[in-house]
Every structure is written in structure tokens, then in C-alpha cells.
Amino acid sequence: MIYGMQDIGRNLLGMSSKPERLRKNEFWALSDISVEVQKGETLGVIGPNGSGKTTLLKILNGIFWPDRGLVRIRGQVGALIEVGAGFHPLLTGRENIYVNAAILGLKKKEVERQFNAIVDFAAIGEFLDVPVKHYSSGMFVRLGFAVAVHCRPDILLVDEVLAVGDEGFQRKCFDKVGELKRDGTTPIIVSHNMHLVSTFSDRVLLLEHGRAKYFTEPEQGIQYYNQLFLKPGDAGMEKICSGNDSIRFLGVKTTTRELNPGDSFTFHLTYEANRDFPDVSIDAAIWSGSEARLYFQATNHAFHQRIDLKEGKHTLEVTIGEIPLCQSLAKVVLAIWSHKREELLFWWRVPVEFQGKEHSGGRNFLKVIFRTGD
């Protein structure tokens, strides 16, 4: 506490916090980071927990001051970094819209002009005139994100808080981020959702132990990120996750790894669970052998298929059908998430080889079949 008061006093006087030395039990949260993001680009910030991602966003937002080095920002910044940040718990949602928008630099007349659009986007209904201390974390995110994006910031900082929202709201948020990007906004997104990062990011900044490993292409950064979680001996198995304390995946059987164009590829997964896992998300994807190119990706929800993993010992079958690849080395990837993607339950990657003549069936699409059974 004494150190904190000393630092605040020095900062108020325009002095640094003596960054040339560390005090007892202190460490550099971030060090040796140099990144330039152009107007309209999207930067994805990824890395393990504790690597400094949120700290970086807080420095960009002016919440923290860098001890050394500097940050140059041109334009208005809108941020959604922590659930409920910028809200007064005793004020209603309606009142907090005005307060939060004022913090972001909007005048009252501008807020009034955008008010209905903010309320419609947040979709909190009758809770608009309820003190926000009674809001759930999802409602906080809805309102905070609605205010931030309707302020039309030049730079939008988004932390993992979007993971709190339901799937429908997340999709609406992603659509809005895409709209802002087309209008010239520069989104900077922190996320553990690699599908989101690969979809939106023009470049990726990977942080590890507070230091930067910067990659021009998102695919390279995501590949390095995945390698951080490999344990000794896992590389040959191409496995990252196979369950938790409540569910274990006991074995995986696949079809041959040498396929002809138009063939199907099937996973047979045996699992044992001591409780139900309702409405899981199953992702299937096909990457090039170097993982530099994503050929295909789908999820059961895109096919309007609900998959429940039942208590007990069962088998899950996943088939990717009619694959129109020819003379290609590829990797077929399968991931299983708990409801609302709260936890990764299973991750497996299998190298395959497509060979032979062009597929003559005239098909140029893939289909995914999900089955459960005993």
C-alpha cells in the first residue's frame, strides 16, 4: 500500500515510478513489447492465463501507466475489459448508459440520439430501469458492449468478457465488430477462442510470461499458442485435452488415414461420464498439413443438431463426409466443448493424406454427421 501511494504521488507530479528497479516480490507484467496497428486492422491478443493480455488492454485504455516506454493512440478508445467496469451499482441501466457514454466521450445529445439503438442491442427488457447491482454478468456485458460499440470508437478494446454472453448475443457482437471494422474502427481483441481470433484478426500478438512473440499471420500465432499446452509425449499423439474430473474419453478410433477425394472421415469416441453434459459444442475442421490454411470448419449448432453427452459409458460418432481434397496432406481436428463453450473437454488432431484422382461426383462441399450411441 505504501508503494502504491508513493507511485500515485510521483505520477501526479508527472514523475515516473522509478522503473529502473523492482521492489521485493515485484515482477514485470509486460516487457519488450513493440507493436504497431494500422487504422482498420484487427489485432488478436492471445496467450496463456497470466501472460499480461488484460494488463496490456488496461495500459492502452489509460487505466495503467507504463513504467517505461510509451503508447501512442490516435482517436477515441472504447473498451470492454471487465464485467461491470464503469457502471455504478446503485444507478439503473438507463442512468448508467448516460454515465458510461459520458466516460467514453459522448455528449448528452449524442447519447439521446443513440439511446434506442443501445437499448435494442443490449436487449435487457424490463431491467432497463432496475439498479445494475441486480444484473447478472451476462446483462452487464450486454449493456457495456452496447454502449461501447454505439459510441463508434476509433479503437475498440475487447477482453474475454464476451464469453459470458450466450451464443446468440455473441453472434450479434461479432457481427457488430465486423461492421465497425468495415467502417474503419480498429478492434483489439483478447480471447482464448481461436476460431474468433482466426476469423477477425489481421495480425496476432502472442504474449508469454509478459513478453511478445509477434506473428504476421494469425495461423502461425495460433499454431504456436496451441503448442504451449502440449505436454511431453503428446506431440506424437496430437492430443491436447481428453476430459476432466467428470468425463474421460477412453479411446478414439478413426477410419484409414489415406483417403481418396470424396471419401468420408469418421471419429468413434468412447467416453465415460459421471454426470450429463447437455448441449455440447462439437467443432470439426480440416487444416493443411502445415496448418497455414483452413480448408473447412463446422460445428453441430450450424447444422441445428443438439448433442447431449449422457452419464455412463457411451460412444460418440462424428463423420466428415464427401471431402473434395486431392493430393493433399491435411490434419483433421475435432474439439468438444461443454455448454456455451465454458470448458474444452476434448481436442484431437489426426494427420491424413488425400490421394488419387479428382473426385468425379461434382460435389464441392462437406457435410458433418454427429451421432451418439451406446
Confidence (pLDDT) at 129: 92
What percentage of the chain has pLDDT greater than the value 90?
Answer: 13
Residues 159, 160, 163: CA angle, nearest 5 degrees: 140
Residue 169 or residue 51, greater confidence = 51
Q: Look up cell 502504491; give the residue.
A: 4
Instruction: Please check the confidence at residue 241 and state whether its pLDDT lies above 80.
Output: no
Sequential DSSP letters for 118-173 = HHHHH--GGGGGSBGGG--HHHHHHHHHHHHHHT--SEEEE-GGGGGS-HHHHHHH
Q: For 73-97, what is the mean pLDDT?
A: 82
What percentage of the chain has pLDDT greater than the value 70?
Answer: 76
Confidence (pLDDT) at 369: 66
Buried (b) or exposed (e) across 99-125, using 16+ Cβ within 10 A? ebbeebebeeeebeebeeebbebbebe
Instruction: Please check the confidence at residue 70 and state whether its pLDDT lies above 90.
Output: no
Instruction: Compute the distance between CA of residue 165 and CA of residue 170 in angstroms, rounded to an integer.
Output: 6
Buried (b) or exposed (e) across 284-319, using 16+ Cβ within 10 A? bbbbeeebeebbbbbbbeeeeeebebeeeeeebebb
Half-sphere exposure of 279 (CA within 13 A, CB side): 8
Q: For 236-254, what is the mean pLDDT?
A: 76
Which residues make Cβ contacts (< 8 Å) with residue 10, sequence separation at least 6? 16, 17, 18
Mean pLDDT, the chain, whole residue set: 78
Instruction: Compute the distance between CA of residue 230 and CA of residue 239 in angstroms, rounded to an integer.
Output: 8
Q: Which of 49, 29, 134, 19 is nearest to 84 (CA)?
A: 134
Residue 309 or residue 76, greater confidence = 309
pLDDT band at 116 (very low <50, low <70, confident <90, very high): very high
Q: 3-7, 45-49, 121-125, 366-370 — which is least confidently predicted?
A: 366-370
Instruction: Please check the confidence at residue 328 and state whether its pLDDT lies above 70.
Output: no
Out of 6-15, 23-32, 181-190, give the one with best mean pLDDT: 181-190
Q: Give the residues across from 372 on adjacent strands.
A: 316
Instruction: Compute the distance between CA of residue 192 and CA of residue 45 in angstroms, rounded to an integer.
Output: 9
Which residues make Cβ contacts (< 8 Å) with residue 264, sequence separation at least 6? 255, 319, 320, 321, 322, 323
Confirm if 141 and 83 have CB atoms less than 8 A apart: yes
Residues 265, 269, 272: CA angle, nearest 5 degrees: 170
SS3 54: helix
Q: For 305-314, what is the mean pLDDT?
A: 92
What's the helix, strand, coil split of the chain in %, to 5?
30, 30, 40
Q: For 271-291, what is the mean pLDDT?
A: 85
Buried (b) or exposed (e) across 223-232, using 16+ Cβ within 10 A? bbbeeeeeee
Q: Which three cell numbers stand for residue 207?
A: 504474449
**Could you state, in order of their start, the residue ranges of all structural domains in the chain?**
32-227, 239-373
Confidence (pLDDT) at 360: 45
Phi, psi angles (nearest 5°) of residue 220: -70, -40
SS3 326: coil
Residue 94 or residue 151, greater confidence = 94
Please give the single-letter amino acid code of residue 61: N
Q: Which three cell numbers stand for residue 281?
A: 459444442
Q: For 345-369, what is the mean pLDDT?
A: 62
Confidence (pLDDT) at 271: 93
Instruction: Compute the distance between CA of residue 157 and CA of residue 60 in angstroms, rounded to an integer.
Output: 8
Instruction: Please check the confidence at residue 1 and state whether its pLDDT lies above 60.
Output: no
What CATH code is assigned to 239-373?
A: 2.70.50.60
Q: For 292-310, what is the mean pLDDT?
A: 81
Please give the single-letter amino acid code of residue 164: V
Q: In the CATH scheme, what is the homologous superfamily, with its name and number, of domain 32-227?
A: P-loop containing nucleotide triphosphate hydrolases (3.40.50.300)
Q: For 74-93, what is the mean pLDDT?
A: 80
Q: For 104-108, what is the mean pLDDT?
A: 80
Instruction: Please check the confidence at residue 362 and state whether its pLDDT lies above 50.
Output: no
Instruction: Compute the distance between CA of residue 330 and CA of residue 316 in angstroms, rounded to an integer.
Output: 23
Instruction: Please check the confidence at residue 372 and state whether its pLDDT lies above 50.
Output: yes
Residue 100 or residue 27, greater confidence = 100
SS3 89: coil
Confirm if 178 and 201 have CB atoms less than 8 A apart: no
Residues 304, 305, 307: CA angle, nearest 5 degrees: 145
